[in-house]
Amino acid sequence: MSKTSIKSTALEQRVSLSEHGFGAWSMQAMTRYGLLLLCILLVLVFSLTTPSFASMLTLQAILSSKSKIALLALAATIPMIVGKIDLNVGFGIVLWHILAITLQVQYGFSWQAAVITVLIISALYGLLNGILVALADIDSFVATLGSGTVLYAIALWHSGGRQIVGDLPDAFIALHHTEIFGIPIVAFYVLIIAVVLWLITEHTPLGRCMYAVGGNPAAARLNGISVNRFTVGAFIASSVLTGFSGILIASEQGVGQASVGMDYLLPALVGAFLGSTTIRPGRVNVWGTVVGIAILAIGIAGIQQFGGEFWVEPLFNGATLLLSITLAGYAQRRRLLNQKAVKPSQAPGNTKKATNS
């Protein structure tokens, strides 16, 4: 049986105002939307205390710098839904952004061919990780840590430990530096991908199967769901999205270097874990991940404008990771207790199907 690195609860019991009372209903509402309200509160506080925070320049800076982290957090969310962790959201972009540049600078690829090649290779790499986890039955944390370290070594070998510099086409640079109505185009990438993932995970049989696999792989298998197929597919999708993020980093910086990438790992995982404590508490979800990244982006930007030192960002990310894991565990235990409390009250002949909320 495939090991499950994290728990992804598939179902959540609805709490209605008429049946469960105002206390239970308001508690669920605060649990669901508390981080979103905190996000709005942070914006108000920083805007009032630091006038420069409430500016278009700050918004553009946040969206431009944190959109890649948001994409990587969404990439990490996909395998988390099936109960796995993919550390290659940090390791992978090291090689992918270098490869996107060297294919053009050293091997004469057009930028379109370079982008397609990177996406194909990243998909094959995701397939390898999926096979290691689903078929070789290796814990996903161990498998992706090992394969990611190898990938990092390949990036060092491929670049020779040096910066890869060269003239890149304007169209390739525009993949990151274009603005639409004053908003960086990378923010629209995040929005489009988040909407697509939300539609798939919340409103299709594919998404319901993914949550079932993450919630209880054994039960999912007994119900005819191919656990291995969904696990492998999640790693492929995650790796392709990571590859796309690497391409955007190459477009932004125009320089390939192995030192780029690992700084993205922690905030991406923090965003995904923090996201499991909001919107759908105790359950990894797309919009929760987006809110989690927004909390990080706004919090760090505000602290830096207050004059925070250079070490504030890693400290904030690490502390938030510990807090998010604690809150995620609490929310998951609370959900299980609520489900157990509600089940006995249901009449044997009037049992209703649980619905995704």
Q: Where are the domains of the chain?
A: 35-332
3-state SS, residue 124: helix
- For residue 342, give both structure tokens: 């509600």
Kindly state the average pLDDT of the residues 318-322.
76
88: burial class by Cβ within 10 Å (0-12, 13-18, 19+)?
buried
Q: Could you tell me where the DSSP H helices lie in the chain? A: 17-49, 56-81, 88-105, 111-134, 140-159, 170-177, 185-203, 205-215, 217-222, 227-253, 262-275, 286-305, 312-342
245 touches 75 (CB < 8 A): yes
Closest CA relative to residue 122, chosen from 297, 240, 5: 240
Dump pLDDT digits (tens) for 176-226.
Answer: 999 998 899 999 999 999 999 999 999 999 999 999 998 889 999 999 999
The per-residue pLDDT for 303 is 80
CATH topology of domain 35-332: ABC transporter involved in vitamin B12 uptake, BtuC (1.10.3470)
Burial of residue 356 (CB within 10 Å: 0-12, 13-18, 19+) is middle
Q: How far is 101 from 113, CA to CA, in rounded Å?
A: 11
Query: Do residues 100 and 114 make contact, with C-beta atoms less than 8 angstroms apart?
Result: yes
pTM above 0.95, yes or no: no
Q: Which residues face 139 on adjacent strands?
A: none
- Cα separation values, 333 from 7, 46, 171, 279, Å: 11, 34, 49, 16
Q: Contact, 184 vs 67, CB < 8 A?
A: yes
C-alpha 99/C-alpha 95 separation (Å) is 6
Q: Which residue has the higher pLDDT, 275 or 155?
A: 155
CB burial of residue 178 (10 Å; 0-12, 13-18, 19+): middle
Question: What mean pLDDT comes out for the span 328-332?
Answer: 62
pLDDT class for 55, splitting at 50, 70, 90? confident
Sign of CA dihedral 323, 126, 294, 306: positive
* Position 71, amino acid: L
Lowest mean pLDDT across 174-178, 249-253, 315-319, 353-357: 353-357
**Cα–Cα distance, 67 to 72 (Å, whole number):** 9
26 or 266, which is more confident: 266
Looking at the DSSP bridge assignments, the partners of residue 256 are 164
Tell me what percent of the residues of the chain surpass a pLDDT of 90. Answer: 43
Nearest to 241 by CA among 272, 202, 200, 197: 197
Check residues 115 and 47 and name the one with the higher pLDDT: 115
Q: Is the pLDDT of residue 116 over 90?
A: yes
Matching residue, tokens 């990036």? 155
Residue type, 122: S
